[in-house]
Structure 1
Amino acid sequence: MDFTGRTVIVTGAGSGIGRATTRLFAGAGALVLGVGRRREALAGTAGRDEAISVHVADLRDPAAPEEIVSAAVARWGRLDVLVNNAGATKIMPLAETTADGVADLFTLNVTAPSLLARHALPHLRATAGCVVNVSSTFGHRPLPGGAHYAATKAAVEQLTRSWALELAPTGVRVNAVAPGPTESEALTAAGLPAATVEQIKSDEAARIPLGRRGDPGEVATWILRLADPSATWLTGQILTVDGGLELV
């Protein structure tokens, strides 16, 4: 996969899948704008790689999507790939569901990627570029106790299919990767105690046919493959990368 001369925006680039994706794109020749809320985490992603620039932003800010796209285009004059990776996980049983909890999840997991894609669209049309959304295996399987998180990812998958049809005449491709449980900071960021996080990880690994949780780099590889400029006839697809979890 050769992305030389192409520019990429990756959200949620400070850790996990976003960090691995940012570094992998840069290694494949792309110029990458890594976006996240934590400046130090983004600096850790970029290291000394001159192909990686960073942009600190909270995607829940309605002005952030336009600012992010403008920053990439101002720096490099074009945009070829948008990776909507940023998102939040929240354990919220129905008996504990609140309006604010639901709204926060949908703002970050659904509204933000929608607005990013909107502002990126003119530039992606100009380059016959693509969007890669990051869903979850729980976007198409139930998640007791986390129904609203699963609902946001189901929304991402339907956005992917609908945008793919809508944008096909313009040459812009839209696909998604749906990772299973992957090593990241998501569970800790959801506010769960350390012991609970470790128990969840152990339980997940036991259910996965391949016997373990995923590595961020394994998911990042498929993000690049979906964005590969040579994948010119692939659009509207949801690729599940979950160690076989959706089979059980």
Structure 2
Amino acid sequence: MNKLALVTGATSGIGRAFAERLAADGHDLVIVGRRQERLEEFAAVHPEVEVRTVAADLSTAEGIDAVAGICATEPLTLLVNNAGVAHYMPLAELPADKAAELVNVKVLAPTMLMRAAVVGMQERGEGTIVNVSGMIAFSGAAPRSQMPRRAVYGGSLAYLVAMSQILSAELAGTGVHVQVLCPGVVATEFHTRQGMDLSGVPRMTADEVVAASLRGLELGETVCAPGVEDVGLLDAAFQADLAAFGAQSPELAARYRAA
């Protein structure tokens, strides 16, 4: 029996590239997206594997519940949380409905799908979860002059990094592995749908991002940054986080004491 993978946001970009690569590797698939016609088109051109299409909007409770139900009941060997929306704008300019959509798709949905899938994966003693984040997750300290501010988007990606690292530690020794995938700018429809023309910006392909993710899993990486050559930079960032965490004291720091 073929291994079974579920991929969200599978109708284009990185999600589509994951689905293509996994089908080529012999995985049966559950592909999730908002556009039924694209899901059906993918299934039609991949008769070599079993492809189940699920049209669901992961910004809604109904969509999340439907896909979480599949994660909880199907013997998934791989869950790829890739669905996303951008809504690049400062918090004060971000409409409430778009803010909710972004948080639902990039924070709530991945959390609930992981929660649904991980129990069965632990019981079977194997499984992999890939959460697609982005390098903007590491940009919080950047000044406004360096890059546009997009607090909700960047914050949601940072959540996926921390969540994946902590979940990976929780699952150590269970046979279940977690990776957070952090590409930079990728040549997909993602930015075009936001009205952004990045055609003049050097970009990685979605296929390259997927190849990096799968190789990163072989290397045992929890954080996979396809465009970062010096992995020591990531290690240094995480060690600095741990140093700050470990340096806390129950006593008020001197700088906060009254003069």
How high is the TM-score relative to the length of structure 2? 0.77
Aligned to 2:63: 64
Equivalent residues of 2:33, 2:56 under 8 A apart: yes
Matched, 1:220 2:210: yes
CA offsets 1:206-248 (integer angstroms, 9 cap, x no match): xxxxxx2111111111233345xxx4x825x21112376x99x
1:15-164 paired onto structure 2 within 5 Å: 15-50=12-47, 51=49, 52-71=51-70, 77-125=74-122, 126-141=124-139, 142=142, 143-164=147-168
SS at match of 2:6: strand
Q: How does 1:225-236 map to 2 (within 5 A)?
A: 225-227=215-217, 231=218, 234=220
Q: Which has the larger radius of gyration?
A: 2
SS of 1:144's equivalent in the other structure is coil
Paired residue for 2:226, among 237, 241, 245? 241
Identity of aligned residues (%): 32
The 8 Å contact of residues 8 and 32 in structure 2, kept in 1 or not, is answered as yes
SS in 1 for 2:87: coil
Deviation of 1:97 (Å): 3.6
- In angstroms, what is the RMSD of aligned CA positions? 2.5
- Secondary structure of the residue aligned to 1:168 is coil
| Secondary structure, counterpart of 2:131 in structure 1 | strand
TM-score (norm 1): 0.80
Q: Is the 8 A contact 1:21 1:223 kept in 2?
A: no
Which amino acid counterpart does residue 128 of structure 2 have in structure 1?
C
Give yes or no for contact 1:65–1:116 (8 Å, CA) kept in 2. yes
Instruction: Measure, in 2, the Cα distance between the counterparts of 1:70 and 1:148.
Output: 27
The whole-number CA distance in structure 1 between the counterparts of 2:17 and 2:65 is: 24
CA distance in 2 between counterparts of 1:119 and 1:72 reads 5
Give distance in 2, aligned partners of 1:65 and 1:120. 13
In 1, Cα distance between the equivalents of 2:84 and 2:179? 17
Query: How many residues get paired?
Result: 223
Give the match's secondary structure for 2:57: coil
Q: Describe the SS at the equivalent of 1:10.
A: strand
> Which one-letter code corresponds to 1:130 in the other structure?
T
Q: Is the 8 A contact 2:5 2:76 kept in 1?
A: yes
Q: What are the ranges of 5 or more consecutive residues in structure 1 without an aligned counterpart?
A: 206-211
Q: Which of 169, 186, 190 is the matching residue for 1:165?
A: 169
Q: Between the two structures, name the one with larger relative contact order (CA 8 Å, sep ≥ 6).
A: 1
Partners of 1:152 and 1:111 in 2: CA distance: 10
1:208 aligns with none
Q: Structure 2 unaligned runs (5+)?
A: 234-259
Q: Deviation digits for residues 96-144 of structure 1, max 9, x if unmatched?
A: 1444433221111111000000111122112410101101011112452
The secondary structure found in structure 2 opposite 1:103 is: helix
The CA deviation string for residues 127-185 of structure 1, in whole angstroms up to 9 with x for no partner, is 41010110101111245232321111011101110111112243211111111111112
